[in-house]
């Protein structure tokens, strides 16, 4: 398939990009600066810009079969109270343009990653993590993830919203636990690598259409 990967220079997105290429997909990326790409540019089709520009986004989406997004609201560091790099509504503003550009290109399939603890799953996460979300700058991506999820659910796209548990940088292959409606109860962690692999499996096997699986490691 030809896929557009958004967020391909982030920690999850880089793995998603390299694994998509390894599996033989034709990949287009939309990045702010071509110099940020960590692989040989001849391996992918590169568009320079951001998903906040609908026209560039639509050009990047041309002839693609699906969009895979690992976009997030980033902070200067992993410290929960560190300042934001992106605007508080970056995800929902991007999603508005993604949906419009997809309609223009007759593209229906989109798979995005948000987080366990977004929307109705907030009640399922440990109490200390709910406190952290409510009292630190972590709240901004969680709130905007919920907003972009609502927009996607209201669209006519064939979406899958992947909600990973806490992310680690482990490169080990681990069995993934899939949770729907809090059954079975998720574990606390999952590696970015396993999130990326799961997203590609969802695409290739056409899984979890219009569903929001929570994923963690067994």
Instruction: Dump pLDDT digits (tens) for 96-150.
Output: 999 999 999 999 999 999 999 999 999 999 999 999 999 999 999 999 999 999 9
Token pair recorded at residue 129: 């993590």
For residues 169 and 155, give the distance between their C-alpha atoms in angstroms, rounded to a whole number.
Answer: 33
According to the model, what pLDDT value does residue 33 have?
85
End-to-end CA distance of the chain: 30
Vertex 201, ends 206 and 94: CA angle to 5°? 80
- In the predicted model, residues of the chain with pLDDT beneath 50 are none
- Which sequence spans correspond to the domains of the chain? 2-217
Alpha-carbon torsion (2, 63, 159, 125), positive or negative: positive
Q: Are strands 189-191 and 214-217 parallel, antiparallel or unpaired?
A: unpaired
The domain made up of 2-217 has a fold known as: Rossmann fold (3.40.50)
Q: What is the pTM of this model?
A: 0.96
Q: Concatenated DSSP letters for 93-133?
A: HHHHHHHHHHHHTT--EEEEE--TTSGGGGGGS-HHHHHHH
Closest CA to 211 of 139, 125, 121: 121
According to the model, what pLDDT value does residue 34 have?
81
According to the model, what pLDDT value does residue 6 have?
98
Residue whose pair of structure tokens reads 């396993």 in the numeric block = 194
For residues 133 and 137, give the distance between their C-alpha atoms in angstroms, rounded to a whole number.
Answer: 7
């Amino acid at each position: 398939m030809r896929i557009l990967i958004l967020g391909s220079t982030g920690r999850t997105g880089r793995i998603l990009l390299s694994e998509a290429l390894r599996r033989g997909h034709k990949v287009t990326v939309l990045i702010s600066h071509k110099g940020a790409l960590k692989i040989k540019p001849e391996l992918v089709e590169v568009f320079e810009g951001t998903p906040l520009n609908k026209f560039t986004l639509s050009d990047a989406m041309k002839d693609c079969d699906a969009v895979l997004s690992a976009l997030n609201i980033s902070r200067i560091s992993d410290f929960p109270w560190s300042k934001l790099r992106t605007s508080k509504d970056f995800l929902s503003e991007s999603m508005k343009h993604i949906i419009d550009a997809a309609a223009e290109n007759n593209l229906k399939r989109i798979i995005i990653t948000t987080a366990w603890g977004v929307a109705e799953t907030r009640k399922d996460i440990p109490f200390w993590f709910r406190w952290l979300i409510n009292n630190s700058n972590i709240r901004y991506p969680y709130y905007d993830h919920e907003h972009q999820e609502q927009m996607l659910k209201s669209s006519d796209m064939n979406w899958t919203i992947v909600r990973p548990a806490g992310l680690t940088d482990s490169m080990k292959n681990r069995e993934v636990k899939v949770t729907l409606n809090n059954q079975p109860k998720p574990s606390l962690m999952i590696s970015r690598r396993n999130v990326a692999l799961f997203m590609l499996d969802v695409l290739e096997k056409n899984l979890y259409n219009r569903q929001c699986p929570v994923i963690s490691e067994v």
